[in-house]
Amino acid sequence: MIKQISYLAICKSMVVMLFLSVSTVFAQHNENKNNKREESVTLSYGLPFSYSLDTYTGWDIKNDAGDVLSTGSGDINEVFSKPGNYSVYIHEKHNDDSKSSCDHDQYPSKVTIKVSPLKMVFDFSSIQFSKKIKEGQSTKGITVTVNAVYSSYENRPADYHHGFTTAGVGTSLSGRLNEDKVLLKNGINKLEFSLEGFTTKGNNIMIEFKDINDQVQPYTLIEKN
């Protein structure tokens, strides 16, 4: 009787251990799946998309319908001529026998790409300041003009309302459109901003303009003494 009870206890213990073991493996699988990195980017139609990968890493690009549009290995260099949503799936090779903690994903498993039907490129060769920015002095009254080349896949105008911010040591500069919004038309559009704030030191200021898709296009202003 004692032996029978001991046997039943051992069986119950093994069942509990097996259940816990399966639960642990299932939890680890879900954790690994959830830990897969994903990235997302926005770009305009007709502009190149580049992503650096090692030679042996494979990838494929699919549209919203799941159709494979392109496949390959190594660096990705693609141009999306049509607006829409696309997905890049990256397939890394791992050594299944490796027990090293270093053998993990270097790249995201998926990159979601939103291709906008609107395109706007600042022509920084046309940028002009009405006055020179001086250290420690207010920039009130200084205007910045720059041309922006705009195009639409469907040949439609669009409202633009972004200002700009700056980055640099000792600078608190920002810019706002002189108009609340500007109606962009296909071709060259001249934009005018009013500066606000001041800079205390340094002559290297990065101006971060935002395009119609809310993406930053930086311009570095280097004032010569």
Interatomic CA distance for residues 149 and 72, integer angstroms: 33
pLDDT of 8 reads 39
Residue 38's beta-bridge partner residues?
A: 110
Instruction: Please state whether the predicted TM-score (pTM) of the whole model is above 0.85.
Output: no
CATH code of the domain occupying 36-116 = 2.60.40.10
Query: pLDDT digits over 131-143, tens only?
Result: 988 888 889 999 9
- pLDDT over threshold 70, residue 26: no
Q: What is the pLDDT of residues 36-61, one digit of tens each?
A: 789 999 999 999 999 999 999 999 99
Q: pLDDT digits over 86-103, tens only?
A: 999 999 987 655 554 455
pLDDT at 146: 98
36-116 matches 118-222 in fold = yes
Quick one: DSSP state of residue 9?
H
- Mean pLDDT in the chain? 82
First to last CA, the chain: 99
CATH topology of domain 118-222: Immunoglobulin-like (2.60.40)
